[in-house]
Amino acid sequence: MNPDSILVYVGLDLVGDGLLKLPFVRTLRANWPGARIVWCAGKGPSVFAGSLRPLVAGLIDETIENAGFGSRVSDIFGHPLAGRHFDLILDTQRRFATSLAVRRVRHRRFVSGAAGFLLSAGRPAQAAKPRSMHAQLLQLVAAAGGDPALPGAPLTLPAETCAAAAALLPPGPRYVGLAPGAGNRAKSWPLERFVELARGLRDAVPVFILGPDERDWIEPCAAVPGAILPLQDAAARGMSPSPVLTIALAQRLAASVANDSGGGHMLAAGDGALVSLFGPTDPAKFAPVARRLAVLRAQDFGGSAMEAIPIEAVRAALQSSMADAAPR
């Protein structure tokens, strides 16, 4: 099927959800470059109409927010999708009653993983639900007749954001990103090991990606000889740090190291090599989608806490990633 119009129905669409779904959006556009893609958030606003909107320019053509369906057939009347028709509907959520409601929108083909693809016009070769959200979304692409293995369509970032990233990380040096933070610090590899890793870099400049909740880490990171803290530099220059700027910075990095965190997903979106560190969380479910990904699990070193991951293993994985990385 080569659809001219695609409706993608999602539930929550906050910043974390958007970062997780961004590789899926890129895969959609790679599969159906000429289709009009409408992104529909059922529960509240969509980050793709807000802070992450610049990331999906050319990937999503229209975003609809607060479009939740009720359980009655009459609820479709007066709905933002009433009277519209789509060649293909991809229902990304798995609540059966909601899928029944979404299916009332006029369409040629409906694909949903709810109840084991019971309502779906197509099924993937493997219908069992994967643990990874990204793998679940790729099942929908396969069920719709697409190729989930296609390289994702490139991100087209705003020119002014790319210029800001170039001013913060000028051409010439080889940069290595280090993102020591995480929403829950139990998911963070010890800061002193990130600092030690940065001090041991040869022929590369350490770049610390620190968020607003990591102000107490600025001083020890800035004390590393030659280290750059671009988001703090951006704020000092009157620029507005944002996820879009972080991804633009990531496009200038040869390789990166990050915890299981939003920062890790932003670095992965830059399409560079990434070493991803996991402790209490499961990489099978939460690992970012990167062009070249190395995952290190605390469990592989005899523990579940992040401290179990030895610096020697991270250094070796980073060196391997840098050796294979293409020039940026």
Ordered strands of the 36-41 beta sheet: 62-64, 36-41, 5-10, 85-91, 106-112
Lowest mean pLDDT among 69-78, 162-171, 277-286: 69-78
In this prediction, residue 324 has a pLDDT band, given cuts at 50, 70 and 90, of confident
* pLDDT score of 83: 87
Residues 114-171: tens digit of each pLDDT = 999 999 999 999 878 999 999 999 999 999 999 999 999 999 999 999 999 999 999 9
d(CA 233, CA 162): 15
Q: Which amino acid is at 240?
A: S
Q: Which helix (H) or strand (E) holds 249?
A: helix 243-250
Residue 129 makes CB contacts below 8 A (sequence gap 6+) with 94, 113, 116, 136
* pLDDT score of 72: 52
In this prediction, residue 231 has a pLDDT band, given cuts at 50, 70 and 90, of very high
Q: Give pTM, 2 decimals.
A: 0.92
Closest to 271 in 3D by CA, of 210, 214, 326: 326
Contact assessment for residue 253 and residue 276, using Cβ atoms and an 8 Å cutoff? no
The residues with which 158 forms a beta bridge, in sequence order, are: none
d(CA 244, CA 234): 13
Catalogue all structural domains in the chain, each as residue range(s) with its CATH number: 5-143 (3.40.50.2000), 159-324 (3.40.50.2000)
Contact assessment for residue 164 and residue 239, using Cβ atoms and an 8 Å cutoff? yes
